[in-house]
Amino acid sequence: MLHKLRTSTLFLSGILLGLTIAVGHSVFALKDSEEIPFEDLQSFTEVFSRVKSDYVEPVDDKKLIEDAIRGMLSGLDPHSAFLNTSEFSDLKIGTTGQFGGLGIEVSMENGFVKVISPIDDTPASRAGIQASDLIIKLDDKSVKGMTLNAAVKIMRGKPNTDIELTIVREGESQPFVIVITREIIRVKSVKNRMLEPGFGYVRISNFQSRTTTDLLKAISDLQKQDPLKGMILDLRNNPGGVLNGAVGVSDAFIDDGLIVYTEGRIDDSSHRYVATPGDSLNGAPLVVLINGGSASASEIVAGAIQDHKRGIIMGTKSFGKGSVQTIQELRNGSAVKLTTARYFTPNGRSIQAKGIEPDIILSTLRLPDQDEKSRQSYSEKDLDGRLSNPDGETESGSKGSEKENGEELAQSDFQLFEALNLLKGLYILNGRSS
């Protein structure tokens, strides 16, 4: 038995060495100064053989090797992973922007699934899932020990089927359950509306290949309604997406200079992205809203706007995902998702694990409802025997309408309400200084 075990170990060592050399030449070429760790590989093959011979139940060779690869990659960082052929196929389906699921961007933290952000107009968003929520159970299955890919596979499924998520949320004393019905997720990247005459609002929920085109169309549509005096760009709970989308959105507001650059160990992972002439707002004031669910590509945009002093960043600190992942397909149809570079803002700041600090910190607040009587205000015009105004006392109806709209906005989205007030102030200040 011992002789067979040694023979098996030596044979497997030969196979692994061959694989290491083959993969090394084709994808992960070792530098001349690096050596193949023969002793460590021998330890690996010894453990492999012991599992094969001594484990209480027979284990498939393919499963053992696949699990070893998963462990190797997951030990690097939360975003590197191994994708078998089925998982790689699911990923490619997911990138088409249409699949059955919940609508959340997730990562792993301490063995649990952490919500980076819910996506707008999806079941997760409507159910009240929040950025930084920890998912500890999917139906009756604990996620502890699961890979991220396995958890995502469970959350995806046929439309109109339910799944129970057990959530741990900061500020809540006990875990609680949210039941979500899966839907076909169709993500519309860009939405826009006019908050008040001349003050536009554009929401980007994630970055896709068409996001820049859709943004420019949204700004054009707003300009047709009323020449823009300023604009709010809402990147809250935007988990990121396509890098070129982030570069294009930044370029829409920045006239020249560096937008973002990446640095890695190999030449292919180091790039510099520079703005082209032109500003879609023609210099009008810009306020960018971010929060803890703003990650990756969102942080690239916020960092570029901030470094170029093109606008005011407002809200709470962003997520801090400043790394680049590349998908590298392997010969058997599986793939590795590998972190290959870091993002840096134009001024050389790394986003990784730090995020973007807003210029103006503004937490999410909800104003308490007040009854109509308590909201009534009195002024000179309400006093009996007051002097009349020589210019007349007729009030503008639009002012009253704007006040009502402002009160409604303050109740529904206080951060956006404050961003609008800031935008008005910037417009007034620019008008006085010109």
Alpha-carbon gap, residue 341 to 12, rounded angstroms: 33
Query: Residues with catalytic annotation?
Result: 296, 307, 321
**What type of residue sits at position 293?**
G
Long-range contacts of residues 6-11, Cβ cutoff 8 Å, at least 24 apart: 8/49, 8/52, 9/42, 9/45, 9/46, 9/48, 9/49
- What integer pLDDT is reported at residue 25 of this predicted model? 34
What pLDDT, in 10s, does the model give residues 250-271?
999 999 999 999 999 998 899 9
Dig out the tokens for 278 from the structure: 């032109």
283-307 average pLDDT score: 97
Q: Range with the lowest mean pLDDT among 83-92, 136-145, 226-235? A: 83-92
Higher pLDDT: 336 or 373? It is: 336
The whole-number average pLDDT for the span 223-240 is 96
**Domains of the chain as residue ranges with CATH:** 12-85 (no CATH), 97-186 (2.30.42.10), 190-361 (3.90.226.10)
Residue 1 has which token pair?
């038995």
Alpha carbons 201 and 234: distance in angstroms, whole number:
7
**Structure-model confidence comparison of residues 220 and 37, the more confident one:** 220
Which burial class, exposed, middle or buried, applies to 264 when counting CB atoms under 10 A from its CB (0-12, 13-18, 19+)? middle
pLDDT digits (tens, 9 = 90+) for 300-310: 999 999 999 99
Flag whether pLDDT at 31 surpasses 70: no
Per-residue pLDDT tens over the stretch 103-115: 998 998 888 999 9
Distances (CA, A) of 187 to 21, 211, 352, 425: 43, 11, 26, 33
User: Over the stretch 173-182, which tens digit does the pLDDT of each residue have?
Assistant: 999 999 999 9
Number of other CB atoms surrounding residue 345 within 10 Å: 23
CB 351 within 8 A of CB 345: yes
**What integer pLDDT is reported at residue 33 of this predicted model?**
56
Lowest mean pLDDT among 167-171, 311-315, 361-365: 361-365
pLDDT for the residue 157: 86
The residue to which tokens 């937490």 are assigned: 363
* Residue that has been written with the tokens 């520079």 in this structure: 274
419 vs 364, more confident: 419
One-letter-per-residue 3-state SS of the chain: CHHHHHHHHHHHHHHHHHHHHHHHHHCCCCCCCCCCCHHHHHHHHHHHHHHHHHCCCCCCHHHHHHHHHHHHHHCCCCCCEEECHHHHHHHHHHCCCEEEECCEEEEEECCEEEEEEECCCCHHHHHCCCCCCEEEEECCEECCCCCHHHHHHHHCCCCCCEEEEEEECCCCCCCEEEEEECEEEECCCEEEEEEECCEEEEEECCECCCHHHHHHHHHHHHHHHCCCCEEEEECCCCCCECHHHHHHHHHCCCCCCEEEEEEECCHHHCEEEECCCCCCCCCCCEEEEECCCCCCHHHHHHHHHHHCCCCEEEECCCCCCCEEEEEEECCCCCEEEEEEEEEECCCCCECCCCCCCCCEECCCCCCCCCCHHHHCCCCHHHCCCCCCCCCCCCCCHHHHHHHHHHHHHHHHCHHHHHHHHHHHHHHHHHHHHC
> Cα–Cα distance between 420 and 303 in angstroms, integer?
21
pLDDT for residue 433 is more than 80 = no
Q: pTM for this structure?
A: 0.80
For the record, the structure tokens of 373 come out as 């009587």
| Top-confidence range, 155-159, 267-271, 344-348 | 344-348
Q: pLDDT per residue over 365-424, tens digit each?
A: 665 555 544 555 567 777 777 777 787 765 544 555 555 567 788 888 999 999 999 999
How far is residue 44 from each of residues 10, 17, 68, 375, measured CA to CA in Å? Answer: 11, 12, 9, 72
Between the alpha carbon of residue 237 and those of residues 120, 207, 293, the distances in Å are: 8, 12, 4
What is the arithmetic mean of pLDDT over 356-370?
79
pLDDT reported for residue 91: 74
- Least-confidence region, from 49-53, 108-112, 189-193: 108-112
272 and 258 Cβ atoms separated by less than 8 Å: yes
